Amino acid sequence: MRLLTTLSLLATAGAFVAGSTVARADLKGSLRALHINASFPGDASYASASSAFNLRFTFKPAAVTYPKSPQEVSEIVKIGAAQKLTVVARSGGHSYIANGLGGKDGALVVDLQNLNQVSVDSSRGTAVIESGNRLGDIILALGIGGHASFGGFGFTSRQWGLTLDTITAVNTVLANGTVARVTNQNDPDLFWGLRGSASSFGITTSIEVTTFAAPPSATIFQYAWDLNVTAAANGIAAFQSFVQTNIPPHFGGEINLVRGPTAGTVTFTLLGGWYAPVDGLNATLAPFMRQMPRAPRTTVQTGTYLDSAVVLAGGSLDTKSKPDGHDTFYAKSLMTPEGSPISHGAIVAFVTYLAKQGFASKTEWFVQLELYGGKNSAINAVAPDATAFAHRSSTFTIQFYASAPGKVPPYPSYGFTFMNDMVKTLTDHSPKNWDYGAYANYIDDKLVDWKQRYYGAHYARLRSLKDKYDPQDLFTFPTAIEE
Ligand SMILES: Cc1cc2nc3c(=O)[nH]c(=O)nc-3n(C[C@H](O)[C@H](O)[C@H](O)COP(=O)(O)OP(=O)(O)OC[C@H]3O[C@@H](n4cnc5c(N)ncnc54)[C@H](O)[C@@H]3O)c2cc1C
Ligand SMILES: *[C@@H]1O[C@H](CO)[C@@H](O)[C@H](O)[C@H]1NC(C)=O
Ligand SMILES: *[C@@H]1O[C@H](CO)[C@@H](O)[C@H](O)[C@H]1NC(C)=O
Ligand SMILES: *[C@@H]1O[C@H](CO)[C@@H](O)[C@H](O)[C@H]1NC(C)=O
Ligand SMILES: *[C@@H]1O[C@H](CO)[C@@H](O)[C@H](O)[C@H]1NC(C)=O
């Protein structure tokens, strides 16, 4: 028994050692026997099949498979388990750290691009969305699989919640190959875990969701200023106060900060969506606008809901017409607690850093303060323990993102330092034990305390679920729940 185990482990390890192709041949043979399309090292298709969105990563999967049904996903999961490979799902492939390739060499990748059906039942207000869809096909522009697994934020989220909050059932393939339809009725524990940490428990083949009636009118607004440190800091503080007033749920937005035109400045943009007749927008924004310098560069586009999605997608929702742009980048996130707003000292230190070090940096960077909370937010109306998503009392999810010069490899080491120091300006000027979180869809391969920041108090419960549903750790990646 013991000897057998050792032998099979050796055979598996052999798959990654040049010259030994025993396990790899088995893998190929097993997939071929079932007529499952796959790309292997050495195939002409392998370079593009295994390329990551973030070119900082160049992982070499054992194979990239293209199942056409949940049953084929199940077969692949069983083959992976038999071969003692790590199995990982890829939907849109947009993971910031290439977790859709397993986040390391040697994974068996299950690419869901052929599972791309969407069926809508308008009388019941529901839809079934297979995981390989891009949000552009659904309405925006990404893979739904990862997006819905860990959150799913957009400017409609203050009104409609996160993508994962709309899920009523998850169709998934578990580690033992079982094809399951998981609901709050038949398995409340697993259903809880799948909404916030799906990838550690199974491969989602489709989600069943509640749909919302498209609003009759939608406006995308953008106001931009070039500001010195004092004015930019006042702008962030003013926005943070403004969102605590009685703003409606159909107001969504973010503050974007990028390098300013001169040293000591930043370009500050309020970008957002207003999902109601446009004549109410100015009055809602007035208390904030009064605190900002006059005459921003303004773009206000009003149309249908579909028009607004096209504007946000940069002109087209057709995910086939435009090739996927790659990038070479490092990103971090910080979710700010509503109970302890960002202090003025932290805001000033942060903006000072952006206006000085940010102006000098050779990286191409941006910062986004996305509005999750404020008064009347559907995201924060969900009870903290209703889903595995751990953050139901954040004001902002701040995304910090810096690309290599020209967006091409190699990623410079000064980029990591620049980003870590940027985030430290906020945390160092905040209360000790400031209870901030991080967003698992802006996944950070260098976040040391990620269990706490991504999952907070939910990690322990997720860990016991992992023990029950994936005791062999088949679904493993760098930020997976550990058995
Ligand atoms: C240009 C860009 C814009 C973005 N904008 C937003 C935004 O507006 N709002 C927002 O919330 N996020 C946004 N994101 C982040 C995005 O939500 C995440 O990167 C998300 O994880 C991508 O999902 P994916 O399916 O494309 O990625 P993948 O790389 O395919 O997967 C990401 C992770 O999910 C797992 N996974 C994928 N499919 C499945 C499945 N079917 N079952 C189980 N696990 C699966 C993968 O194994 C991996 O761990 C953006 C990202 C990019 C690159
Ligand atoms: C296999 O999948 C790849 C990627 O989707 C595709 O280009 C190729 O045509 C597929 N081959 C077959 C035989 O289906
Ligand atoms: C910063 O900008 C504000 C608004 O434009 C202006 O009133 C102020 O004088 C500027 N401060 C400095 C130090 O330049
Ligand atoms: C909103 O205010 C701007 C000036 O800030 C003005 O140009 C615009 O016409 C106003 N829009 C509406 C619908 O009142
Ligand atoms: C597979 O795992 C699930 C969840 O633990 C369990 O309910 C089911 O009985 C298992 N199926 C088989 C065939 O072992």
**pLDDT tens sequence across 364-388:** 999 999 999 999 999 999 999 999 9
Q: Give the domain range for residue 143.
A: 118-213
The verdict on 391 and 413 lying in the same domain is: yes
The verdict on 204 and 230 lying in the same domain is: no
Last residue of a domain, one of 73, 91, 111: 111
- State the pLDDT confidence band at 144, using cuts at 50, 70 and 90: confident
Ligand 1 touching residue 204 (CB < 6 A): yes
Asked if 102 and 86 count as a contact pair (C-beta separation under 8 A), the reply is yes
- The pLDDT, as a whole number, for residue 82 is 96
84 lies in some domain: yes
Ligand 1 touching residue 136 (CB < 6 A): no
**What proportion of the chain, given as a percentage, has pLDDT over 90?**
88
The verdict on 295 and 418 lying in the same domain is: yes
Indicate the residue type of 293: P
Helix ranges (DSSP H) in 383-444 = 413-428
Q: For the whole model, what pTM was predicted?
A: 0.94
- The pLDDT, as a whole number, for residue 314 is 86
Ligand 1 touching residue 97 (CB < 6 A): no
- The pLDDT, as a whole number, for residue 6 is 27
- 189: CATH: 3.30.465.10
Residue located nearest, by CA, to atom 3 of ligand 4: 282
- State the pLDDT confidence band at 268, using cuts at 50, 70 and 90: very high
- The pLDDT, as a whole number, for residue 311 is 92
- Nearest 5°: the CA angle 218, 220, 223 is 150
Ligand 1 touching residue 89 (CB < 6 A): yes
Q: Which residues contact 182 (CB under 8 A, 6 or more apart)?
A: 169, 170, 171, 172, 190, 191, 194
Q: Give 92's DSSP letter.
A: S
The verdict on 150 and 70 lying in the same domain is: no
- CA-to-CA distance for 407 and 338, rounded, in angstroms? 35
Q: Which residues contact 395 (CB under 8 A, 6 or more apart)?
A: 240, 243, 336, 337, 338, 341, 371, 372, 373, 374
- The pLDDT, as a whole number, for residue 300 is 98
Q: Which atom of ligand 5 is nearest to the CA of 468?
A: 5
- The CB-based long-range contact list for 403-408 (8 Å cut-off, 24+ gap) reads 403/327, 403/328, 403/329, 403/363, 403/364, 403/365, 404/56, 404/328, 404/329, 404/363, 404/364, 405/362, 405/363, 405/364, 407/326, 407/327, 407/328, 407/329, 407/364, 408/55, 408/328
How many domains does the chain contain in total? Answer: 3
- The pLDDT, as a whole number, for residue 7 is 28
Q: Which of 88-92, 122-126, 219-223, 239-243 has the lowest mean pLDDT?
A: 122-126
- CA-to-CA distance for 405 and 277, rounded, in angstroms? 42
Task: List strands edge to edge, sheet with 38-39.
Answer: 38-39, 63-65, 108-111, 87-90
The verdict on 278 and 388 lying in the same domain is: yes
Q: Which atom of ligand 4 is nearest to the CA of 289?
A: 5
- State the pLDDT confidence band at 330, using cuts at 50, 70 and 90: very high
- CA-to-CA distance for 51 and 367, rounded, in angstroms? 26
- The pLDDT, as a whole number, for residue 133 is 87
- The pLDDT, as a whole number, for residue 270 is 98
465 lies in some domain: no
Q: Is the pLDDT of residue 317 over 90?
A: no
Q: Which residues contact 82 (CB under 8 A, 6 or more apart)?
A: 30
Pocket test for ligand 5, best of 75, 173, 176 (most atoms within 8 A of CB): 176
The verdict on 144 and 282 lying in the same domain is: no
Size (the chain), residues: 483
- 57: CATH: 3.30.43.10
